[in-house]
Amino acid sequence: MTLQTVTWMSAFLCLAQVCSMPMPCQLQGQLVRITHNLLRDMGGNFPLECLQENVFVAFPATAFATSGAPQLSSSGAMAIYETLKNIDTLFGADDLPTKWDQQKLENFQNIVYRQIEESKCMMGSVDTSDYLIRTEGLKTYFGNIAAVLKEKNFSYCAWEVVRKELLYSLQFILEHNSDSLLWANRT
């Protein structure tokens, strides 16, 4: 009986130790990649019927610029977080295209939300010296994207323009800022 009690207490203490270990406060690279792939695959290539409505929205690459260091500053990582929050806001609309793969759309929305929830701890680590400049560029960018949707009455083609722009944004993050993302160990 004593051996069983000691075994259970040991198991409990091990579990308590593992559960109390601090989790890194960093966006997961694999989830950003999955988010990009779901967004890409939910609608396929840009539709030919939407070419006339295609518009260019200037991407604020400076919001993700590094300051000479190999990793982004905390405010740069926050720019990625803010990007995901803005994507979540855009895709919170009720009038999303029904032509898109609905399962992939739902998975996309869930993963974006999960990333935001798991990364809220970053809010306390903002380097305010350049954070405001970065977020201002993102605010303008996402404001322009929202304006395209509104101007085109949330049409299917307007959503395709949004999807194209967001694909570019996520691809940019993956190609230029992957050092600021947490990647699972690859063996």
pTM, two decimals, is 0.79
> Is 83 in contact with 187 (CB distance < 8 Å)?
no
CA distances from 20 to 14, 15, 26 (A): 10, 8, 17
State pLDDT tens for residues 112-147: 999 999 888 766 655 556 777 888 899 999 999 999
Whether residue 42 is contained in a domain is answered as yes
Q: What are phi and psi of 185, to 5 degrees?
A: -60, 130
Give residue 28's Cα distance to chain centre. 9
Q: By residue range, what is the domain housing residue 58?
A: 26-180
Categorize the per-residue pLDDT at 7 as very low, low, confident or very high, splitting at 50, 70 and 90: low
Separation of alpha carbons 161 and 176, rounded Å: 22
Q: Which residue in this structure is represented by tokens 């947490």?
A: 182
Distance from C-alpha of 90 to C-alpha of 83, rounded to nearest angstrom: 11
Q: What is the DSSP letter of 70?
A: S
Residue at 166 is within a domain? yes
Q: pLDDT tens across 53-78, in order?
A: 999 999 898 887 765 544 445 666 78
Q: What is the mean pLDDT of the chain?
A: 81
Query: Do 57 and 162 meet the contact criterion of CB atoms below 8 Å apart?
Result: no
> How many domains does the chain divide into?
1
From CA 109, how far away is CA 116, in angstroms rounded?
Answer: 11
Least confident of 3-7, 38-42, 50-54: 3-7
Residue 63 lies in a domain: yes
Least confident of 11-15, 87-91, 113-117: 11-15
Question: Is residue 17 situated within a structural domain?
Answer: no
Note whether residue 175 is domain-resident. Answer: yes
Residue 20 in domain: no
Tell me if 2 is assigned to some domain: no
Looking at residue 167, which CATH number applies to its domain?
1.20.1250.10
